[in-house]
Structure 1
């Protein structure tokens, strides 16, 4: 694999491509542009909804985003949703009812892509007064298809809470986590960053053997396994969650040290040294 070269670059955003202040460094932008000019596209694979993609679009200007952990595919240039795989109302209603029966102090919110609704007692960490964000009853929230269901607990340990949600949900949906909080992210069954990336890669005529993917949290595990098992490169940040490090093929430096750019630069330099 010493002379391996990607045909598609995929990266998580928070804790990976973005620095802690949510900026993308000039060095990272320049490195990504070098690969794009050489015909290698960038795909952002994130738990973020489309409504959180305006800032990065202003910096990167183009590319495709796999949003909501694979549930929404977004074309960044026109900010147009290309495809969606939502949770249906009957599934939302059944899951939330059973989760609340197991733990009464569990609170819910839903991502619709461009809008966000949360129970009044649910404490969102961001976008509290942003357009498209509002409170709603659980009945109202689960009456329409949603890109992602969020379940939060204010006092349980994160891993124990996510495990509880997984046990209750079973195979009816996909449960993951990308936060240091006790926050479970629930998507339609079988929907992960891997399924979203596979769809986008196929549109570019690329398989997992030609993909390099960067990440730092458990919601990146499915994408890492898809790329690793297919012969590509799954690159974890130095500070990544232990469960992600366990399935990585490579490790790079942290996001504040431009780990994505550093790893890509090493691939470019090695290719140059190898010659044509």
Structure 2
């Protein structure tokens, strides 16, 4: 594969493209722009909701972003939602009710559109007082379709809690995580970064065999499997979660070492 070159570049943001201070280096921007000038689309594939994409827009002004782990496609230039695969109220109500019964100290929040709503006891880590953030009861949270349901536990270990959520969900939705906290991210059944990226790639006439995808956490596994099984490149950061490293075709440097740019430059 020494002469292999991608026809589409897809990258996670947090822990991958971005440094830990939430910035992207000038070297990485320059490398991405070099590929884009050569006709290769650059697609962000992130667990972040659209409302967390405003700062990256100032750096990468074009293209489509796959947000909320595949549930939302966002036009970065126009800042418009192009497509959404929501989690329906019936599933929301069943899952939250059963999780609350099995683990009463589980607290919930939801992402939809450009808004974030959370229970009074839920402790958001960022943007607590930002526009679009509001407090609501669980009944209000699950009354309408959402892009992503968040379930958080403040005391259980991450992997133990995510495993519990997967057991409770029992195939009714897609469960993943991208945090060091006990935070489970729940999307509609079958919705992953892979499904979102497949839509964008198809729009460009590109198959998974011609895609390189970068990531660092379990919510990137579906996208890694999608490209690896077709002959594309699935590149894990050096510090990536062990489960993602096991799904990778390649490993690059850390996000602080601009591992994405270094790997692309090597091609």
* TM-score interval (norm. to shorter): over 0.9
Q: Aligned equivalents of 1:171 and 1:203: distance in 2? A: 29
* Corresponding position of 2:116: 116
What is the TM-score normalised by the length of structure 1? 0.96
CA distance in 1, matches of 2:171, 2:43: 28
| Partners of 1:111 and 1:198 in 2: CA distance | 22
| Alignment of 1:207 onto 2:197 | no
Matches within 5 A, 1:124-163: 124-163=124-163
Gaps of 5+ in 1: 268-276
Question: 1: CA distance between counterparts of 2:137 and 2:176?
Answer: 24
Q: Which has the higher helix share?
A: 1
1:241 equivalent to 2:241? Answer yes
- The residue that corresponds to 1:63 in the other structure is 63
Question: SS at the partner of 1:230?
Answer: coil
> How big is each residue's C-alpha offset from its partner over 1:165-196, in whole Å with a ceiling of 9 and x where there is no partner?
00000110000000000000000000000000
Give the structure 1 partner of residue 192 of structure 2. 192
Runs of 4+ in structure 1 off by over 2 angstroms are none
Q: C-alpha distance in 1, partners of 2:170/2:239?
A: 29
- Paired with 1:159 and 1:43, the residues of 2 have a C-alpha distance of 29
**Post-superposition shift, 1:134?**
0.8
DSSP 3-state at the match of 1:82: strand
User: What are the equivalent positions in structure 2 for 1:79-90 lying under 5 Å apart?
Assistant: 79-90=79-90
Structure 2: distance between partners of 1:119 and 1:235? 37
Paired position in structure 1 for 2:47: 47
Q: TM-score, normalised by structure 2?
A: 0.99
**Cα shift at 1:63:** 1.3
State the shift of 1:49 in Å: 0.3
Q: Secondary structure at the match of 1:59?
A: coil
Report how far residue 113 of structure 1 moved.
Answer: 2.8
Query: Separation in 1 of the partners of 2:99 and 2:24?
Result: 38
Match of 1:216 in 2: 216
For the residue of structure 1 that corresponds to 2:196, the secondary structure is helix
How much does 1:22 deviate? 0.6
Residue correspondences, number: 267
* Distance (Å, rounded) in 1 between the aligned partners of 2:170 and 2:211: 30
Residue 27 in structure 1 maps to residue 30 in structure 2: no
Deviations 1:223-260 (A, max 9, x none): 00000001000000000000000000000000011000
